[in-house]
A and B are shown apart, each in its own frame.
Chain A
Amino acid sequence: MAKVLEGLYYSESHEYVRVEGDFGFVGITDYAQNALGNVVYVDMPEVDDEVEAGEEFGAVESVKAASDLISPVSGTVVEVNEALDNQPELINQDAYENWIIKVRLSDKGDLDNLMDAKAYAAFCEK
């Protein structure tokens, strides 16, 4: 059973965003890391890159396959989780602790298009 945390926003492509003030921490969900299996590489954007809700911003590679990362929110990348460069497996250990990018949100209205924990848990059940 995949772990779903209260208080986060979730997309149908299995990314989450944790909002703190004007910023959002974006990563992949526990369900996604489990489906991917051993993560061996995370292809991340650069700081100052713009990301757009619904658009690809990188990829997570497991032994099995590459999976595109779709941003759940729009904004500017202010930080990337550099620990993942050398330890991509951190995502398998705790997908919610190990976010991928920190974004300065340009439109908090994006959050209205995402699911809450309850809706996402139900979505994963399907």
Chain B
Amino acid sequence: MSPFGGFDMPIQYSGIVDEHQAVRQACGMFDVSHMGEVLITGRDAECYVNHIFTNDVVGMHDGKILYGMMCYENGGVVDDLLVYKVADQRFFLVINAANIDKDWAWIQKQAKSYDVQLENQSDLYGELAIQGPEAEQVMKDVLSIDGSRLAFYTFKLFDDVIVSRTGYTGEDGFEIYAEPNYINECWDKLIASGRCKPCGLGCRDTLRFEVGLPLYGDELSADITPIMAGLGVFVKLDKAEFIGKEALARQKVEGPTKKLVGIELADKAIPRHGYTVLSPEGAPIGEVTTGYHTISTDKSVCMALIDTQYAKLDTEVQIQIRKKVFPGKVVKKQFYNKNYKK
């Protein structure tokens, strides 16, 4: 077990590679009860969520989910999150475990002039992610939850249980939010069925990395804006206002000084978080944010935040790994194709 965001979390059960392959090829599950949940209700709920969120919740249908960020005035990221629209005047936010305290303080602070009620429900909910091409069938057979009519990024309430077609693996799958005892029961039933492999944080990271999904703290932070991270599609600059809008609009027009890119190495050495990226001449131009030898494609690749002038595809760069320097080139920061059911 390893400490993560204030929780003791398993890195692996049967092994990272084994669990990773189970999710890519069949079905795996993650106990992600550490994630935080905040409920926002009241007359100004929609307008308030739009104030703190980069994506646009106006016109969202009930049962729809949007991904986006909460930003500081300077465009740096407080957190990335999912917003579930339960009903008019009722929004459910899912935030990162390590950021719960910071986010909760931020959400409360911004709400002063709005007619909203805020509730940090992080301790009320457990969460289970069932992921992989067989997730829909396994969930139906073992838990009697029929997700077949849920579209990607939508959710449904089954009594007090929230079931959404979402995930963090690049595969089809579902996330279930419910009181912890129910989540425990689901876990035990799925284990007993033998059809769903328990998965730890290790393969959660390798899976999300391969399909280029960002992790707060690596690819997004107070210093890394969504524009730098290439996530501008989740920033709706045509909205009337939101926190960070001016800074992000300016950055989009002027172009960021640094950009998040993918880099592929010719060699098998693994570029890891914090390693220095160098220009062909050997000058430091940035840092690796996440790197692996990918399990699905057998390549040494990383995401890295580097000077914009080197960020074009196929640009030659180098990475310092321990005492040696390895040549690589800029590639798309998606190393494996997503396999969502839309």
Kindly state whether residue B206 has any CB partner on chain A within 8 Å: yes
B268 and A40 form a contact (CB under 8 A): yes
Pick the contact of B16 from A37, A43, A59, A85 — CB < 8 Å? Answer: A37
A72 beta carbon closer than 8 Å to chain B: no
Report how far A15 CA is from B57 CA in the complex, Å. Answer: 57
Any chain A CB within 8 A of the CB of B272?
Answer: yes
Q: How does the 8 Å CB contact mask read for A48-72 relative to B, with 1 for contact and 0 for none?
A: 0000000000010101111000000
> Given that A63-B292, A64-B16 are known contacts, is A41 also in contact with B202, CB under 8 Å in the complex?
no
Residue in A43, A64, A88 whose beta carbon sits within 8 Å of that of B202 in the complex: A64
A81 at interface (Cβ–Cβ under 8 A)? Answer: no
Contact, CB under 8 Å: A37 / B15: yes
Residue B300 interfacial (CB < 8 Å)? yes
> Is B324 in the interface zone, CB < 8 Å from A?
yes
CB distance from A9 to the nearest CB of B (A): 25
Q: Which residues of A contact B268 (CB under 8 A)?
A: 40-41, 85, 88
From the candidates A37, A61, A65, name the one contacting B269 in the complex (CB within 8 A).
Answer: A61
- Chain B stretch 12-32: residues in CB contact (< 8 A) with chain A: 12, 15-17
The reply to whether the CB of B322 lies closer than 8 angstroms to some CB of chain A is yes
In whole angstroms, what is the CA distance A36 to B289 when docked?
Answer: 22
- A106 at interface, CB cutoff 8 A: no
Q: Which chain B residues lie closer than 8 Å to A66 at the CB level? A: 270, 272, 322
Q: Report B-chain residues with C-beta under 8 Å of the C-beta of A38.
A: 15-17
Is B258 located at the chain interface by the 8 A CB criterion?
no
Most-contacted residue by chain A among B11, B206, B293, B300 (CB, 10 A)? B293
Closest to B202 in A: A64
Q: Say yes or no: B11 contacts A41, CB within 8 Å.
A: no
How far is A65 from B293 in the complex, measured between Cα atoms in Å? 11
Given contacts A38-B17, A41-B300, A66-B272, contact A61 B293 (CB under 8 A): yes
Set of chain B residues within 8 Å of A63, measured between Cβ atoms: 16-17, 202, 206, 292-293, 295
Instruction: Report Cα–Cα, A61/B270, bound state, in Å.
Output: 7
Give every chain B residue within 8 A of A64 (Cβ-Cβ): 11-12, 16, 202
* Interface members, chain B 40-87 (any A CB < 8 Å): none
The smallest C-beta distance from B207 to any residue of chain A, in angstroms, reads 12
Chain A residue nearest to B275 in the complex (CB): A66
Contacting residue for B293 out of A37, A41, A59, A85, CB 8 A: A41
Residues of B within 8 A of A43 (CB): 269, 321-322, 324
B 282-304 binary contact with A (CB < 8 Å = 1; else 0): 00000000001101000010000
Query: For window 21-58 of chain A, which residues contact chain B by CB distance below 8 Å?
Result: 37-38, 40-41, 43
Against A, the Cβ 8 Å flags (1 = close, 0 = not) of B317-340 are 000011010000000000000000
Shortest CB-to-CB span from B328 to chain A, Å, is 14
17 extra interface residue pairs, beta carbon distance < 8 Å, beyond A61-B293, A63-B295: A37-B12, A37-B17, A38-B15, A40-B270, A41-B270, A43-B321, A43-B322, A43-B324, A59-B322, A61-B269, A63-B17, A63-B206, A63-B292, A64-B11, A64-B16, A64-B202, A66-B270
Residue contacts A-B, CB under 8 angstroms, 17 given:
A41-B268, A41-B270, A41-B293, A41-B300, A43-B322, A59-B322, A61-B269, A61-B293, A63-B16, A63-B17, A63-B202, A63-B293, A64-B16, A64-B202, A66-B270, A85-B268, A88-B268
Interface residues of A (CB under 8 A from B): 37-38, 40-41, 43, 59, 61, 63-66, 85, 88
- B interface residues, Cβ below 8 angstroms from A: 11-12, 15-17, 202, 206, 268-270, 272, 292-293, 295, 300, 321-322, 324
Give the top 10 A-B pairs by smallest Cβ distance, nearest first.
A40-B293, A41-B268, A63-B16, A61-B270, A38-B17, A41-B269, A41-B270, A37-B15, A64-B202, A43-B269
